[in-house]
Amino acid sequence: MKKILITGGAGFIGSHVVRLFVNKYPDYHIYNLDKLTYAGNLENLLDIENKPNYTFVKGDIVDDEFIQKLFSEHIFDGVIHLAAESHVDRSISNPMEFIFTNIVGTVNLLNAAKFNWKDNMDKKLFYHISTDEVYGSLGDTGYFTEETPYDPHSPYSASKASSDHLVRAYHDTFGLPVVISNCSNNYGPNQFPEKLLPLFIHNIRNNKPLPVYGKGENVRDWLFVEDHANAIDLIFHQGKVGETYNIGGNNEWKNIDLIMLLCKIMDKKLGREPGTSKKLITYVKDRAGHDLRYAIDSSKLQRELGWSPSLQFEEGLGITVDWYLSHQQWLDSVTSGDYQKYYEAQYVKRER
Ligand code: NAD
Ligand code: DAU
């Protein structure tokens, strides 16, 4: 039985990847290593937690001794590394967490893999999950390809860029078999409501202001989270060692247009008079260093591995809204306690 270590599996994307692998590969044993920060939630995995091929391990990738011990106790065949601090706004208010987890944590995993895999590297794979934000910001035209030079602007994207460079350095210097993918904005069930879509769904439902940064003119390329998980499955099994693959939805939306569409969908789903939710839109101070536009060219992944997104955006958005509306208890539990303090610090002083 192959042993696969998935880090960050209790988070948003990680939980979809863990579920996919546990259900699709009964001959793999999936170890989900997660620190359970504010963003990690084992409720995301209730449906698979008792499966015989699944084990949860609570731990911190920054803890070098713990990581070395874990790798010496289990002979992992592969690592899919998703654990990270992932929210740009938090990286602006507290960069150090991002440096520790995203950079030091990644190097701890690379060191453990390098040391424990030295005798049979050719049968192993270290798969690092990254973001399109490492490429910086686009103007009105063009796309990020795998050749686009790195130009990160936030502490989050700079920490992810740094981890990408280190992963490549371990391949080039030590021969560690690695693969990297850089994906655009994900949406779907189980995303922590600090990110645009779940936050705005939650606020519309509770008649709270919708804080649009700047003029709402920034553009993001949205991909349904299960399509990202399917791409990760494909790249893990068929990707070429040493290569990078871009993953994107070919689905660009200006923030304000997306928010208008969401308001329309929410009015309908909540049985409100058309035009009710958009009255909640409140323009607030822009995010510092706010990247204008992200857009991914995923033609390499489509051409070489035959991947394509499965869902039309309006269908995916409808599924997502339905999920949050029918999981009020999930939202209530993740938005109690510390969330309130975060929300106040992030938004109350931001109104202009
Ligand atoms: P998330 O914040 O929802 O989840 C991160 C998970 O990592 C949480 O379960 C958290 O508990 C865990 N974690 C954090 N620090 C840890 C540590 N020190 N040790 C162990 N576990 C720790 O993030 P997400 O949105 O699911 O993103 C997952 C990965 O995908 C990240 O690497 C992110 O950079 C990348 N990514 C995200 C998106 C997106 O749109 N969300 C797009 C492209 C790439
Ligand atoms: O592109 C991939 C990245 O997408 C991932 O690497 C990150 O982990 C993920 O968080 C996401 O980053 P963004 O900064 O694009 O996502 P966020 O949901 O925070 O914001 C989306 C856009 O909406 C962005 O232009 C900022 C804007 N925004 C966001 C929030 C939270 C607002 O206008 N108001 C808000 O309250």
Residue 97 alpha carbon to ligand 1 centre in Å:
13
Q: Active site includes 294? A: no
Residue 32 alpha carbon to ligand 1 centre in Å:
13
Residue 131 alpha carbon to ligand 1 centre in Å:
11
Continuous H helices in the chain: 12-24, 64-73, 88-93, 95-98, 106-116, 155-174, 196-205, 225-238, 255-269, 299-305, 313-325, 328-334, 338-347
**pLDDT value at 56 more than 80:** yes
Burial group, residue 126, by CB count within 10 angstroms (0-12, 13-18, 19+)? buried
Question: Quick count: other Cβ atoms within 10 Å of Cβ 94?
Answer: 11
Ligand nearest to the CA of 84: 1
Which residue out of 34, 60, 89, 133 is catalytically annotated?
Answer: 133
**pLDDT value at 352 more than 70:** no
Give the sign of the dihedral formed by CA 323, CA 324, CA 325, CA 327: positive
Q: Active site includes 217? A: no
Provide the residue type at 85 as one letter. Answer: E
Q: What is the fold of 196-219+252-288+312-350?
A: UDP-galactose 4-epimerase; domain 1 (3.90.25)
Domain boundaries along the sequence of the chain: 2-187+223-247, 196-219+252-288+312-350
- Phi, psi angle pair for 306, to nearest 5°: 75, 25
Q: Active site includes 132? A: yes
Give per-residue pLDDT as tens, 124-163.
999 999 999 999 999 999 999 999 999 999 999 999 999 9
Q: Is the distance from the beta carbon of residue 131 to the nearest atom of ligand 1 less than 6 Å?
A: yes
**pLDDT value at 351 more than 70:** no
Average pLDDT, the chain: 96
Is the domain defined by 2-187+223-247 classed in CATH 3.40.50.620? Answer: no
Task: Say if pTM beats, i.e. exceeds, 0.95.
Answer: yes
Q: Is the distance from the beta carbon of residue 12 to the nearest atom of ligand 1 less than 6 Å?
A: yes
Give per-residue pLDDT as tens, 182-240.
999 999 999 999 999 999 999 999 999 999 999 999 999 999 999 999 999 999 999 99
**pLDDT value at 32 more than 80:** yes
pLDDT at 260 (0 to 100): 98
Specify the 3-state DSSP secondary structure of 46: coil
Task: State what percent of residues in the chain have pLDDT above 90.
Answer: 93
Is the distance from CB of 255 to CB of 219 less than 8 angstroms?
A: yes
Instruction: Report the alpha-carbon distance of residue 41 to residue 7 in Å, rounded.
Output: 13
Is the distance from CB of 201 to CB of 259 less than 8 angstroms?
A: no
pLDDT at 79 (0 to 100): 98
